Structure 1
């Protein structure tokens, strides 16, 4: 029974780490939000998080790191992403298992070298899968009903920005995600809400399509940046603002180029922000 409880806690913590929250209750709310949007994605999230965990255990990675969920969050995103982009056919489930294991292995490579990879393992694995399956052209995208965005307001846009971090377009899922972050880190949730507003405003200045903005497509990377650099010092707010603006600009550019953005703008903006901090005097870091 103790092993089962530890397994469940680690899987939920892994899911919570998608937004850098080491909290199983946060992960549980994320999982509820995913299931609300798509039961198939929910199943994929549990499967991929489990594969990441089992892979780390079989390869004898650090026990503490495993329990912190560091080998499950990129794996979870791989599973959800593949069921978002493709119909859940047999080959996709096999790919989810392989891709989740690979994400955990790549994560370990970065951890051992003390490089903050964030969600880069998920990005790399998913980009490869997208390239392969789109070129094979044997698996179509799932049919998802179009959602009306008429009368959308700023709060709905912010909620969708949270939801899109884990490929969820519903306002309900977004609200659950906001609450999930808030119960673990209120300051991170508040900064992330501000990030949703700022990124949407910046996107309007670049005349991006209203529907894309309201769906949170220009906000979810900014939300992750805000959570990453949130803190109680004034300088934390400056780093949050800098990373938000940077991630949104990268997001806009990549979408204009027709790229599969995923969370790359978040990773790139975070690396640049960390690099800037590194070269600043200690009292300004």
Structure 2
């Protein structure tokens, strides 16, 4: 009689750890970092600011990743956390804008599924979509929750933070990428990017400073600048275009400037910007890069001899 050997416990453990690693990478991918340590630091910053947002991020990245597995999305992309970051942002956003209740948590689940599916649609077509799935899904859910269900806004949205003018607003710019306004969260997010890519972290910090200064020159509200609300899109732009060539700095500055313009326009019309200014600025610069390809070589104009 031939006995079937029992499944090895180590194999189950490996699968469980592999799934946890995927979830953490999904959180890290919010700032384009495929790193477990980055994901852990991001979660630490979110939980520091709000337990409900932290649990929403965990639930959302779990749902998004499970959706990718069930629907058979690309296994490599799934393992890299590609289908976790937009859902995670949706989860945090909904608990940022609305009071915690059953309908909001159900919306986190539905939004996470939709964000993963939209992400996959763009991924199949090889379109660099960045956080756009999070944006469209969150806009839709905000509209429905406000107008169809009348869900109350989160209490802290009506509170006003008094901040001393300082350069810590650049760190808060990192924090505001995931709806966190504390300097601690911003520092945690900065370190999270730095451990994975120092140059991207430093580019992000410089871009956050520049964006805040430019916003001040155009008479943006001082409290908004100090909270990092005019810097977080700049952080994401810098992370995308950071590099060790001079031209990388030029592309970064153009993307940052474009994202600021879009932010100003959206704020003027009382439209929730989320990370849309970053996406628009980045898409325009990518088009510019493609159209000028061959003109720039190693950061210098390419001259035909």
- TM-score of the two chains, using structure 2 as the length reference: 0.91
Partners of 1:139 and 1:201 in 2: CA distance? 36
- Structure 2 match to 1:152: 165
- Structure 2 match to 1:212: 224
Give ranges in structure 2 of 5+ residues lacking alignment.
1-12, 298-305
* Equivalent of 1:267 in 279, 283, 300: 279
Matched, 1:106 2:118: yes
Partners of 2:164 and 2:267 in 1: CA distance? 25
Matched, 1:57 2:69: yes
Write out aligned runs for 1:38-57 (5 A): 38-57=50-69
Matched, 1:244 2:264: no
Cα shift at 1:29: 0.1
Query: Going by fraction, where is helix more abundant, 1 or 2?
Result: 1
User: In terms of mean alpha carbon deviation, does 248-257 or 169-178 score higher?
Assistant: 248-257
Cα shift at 1:84: 0.4
- Structure 2 match to 1:86: 98
Question: What do residues 222-245 of structure 1 show as CA deviations (whole Å, max 9, x unaligned)?
Answer: 100000100111111111111111
- Structure 2 match to 1:185: 197
Question: What do residues 187-237 of structure 1 show as CA deviations (whole Å, max 9, x unaligned)?
Answer: 000000011111001111211110011111111001000001001111111
- Structure 1 match to 2:135: 123
Q: Which has the larger radius of gyration?
A: 2
- Structure 1 match to 2:86: 74
Aligned length: 284
Question: What do residues 105-143 of structure 1 show as CA deviations (whole Å, max 9, x unaligned)?
Answer: 000000000101100000000000111112135211121
Cα shift at 1:176: 0.4
Q: For the aligned residues, what is the CA RMSD?
A: 1.2
Q: Is the 8 A contact 1:149 1:214 kept in 2?
A: no
Partners of 1:246 and 1:20 in 2: CA distance? 20
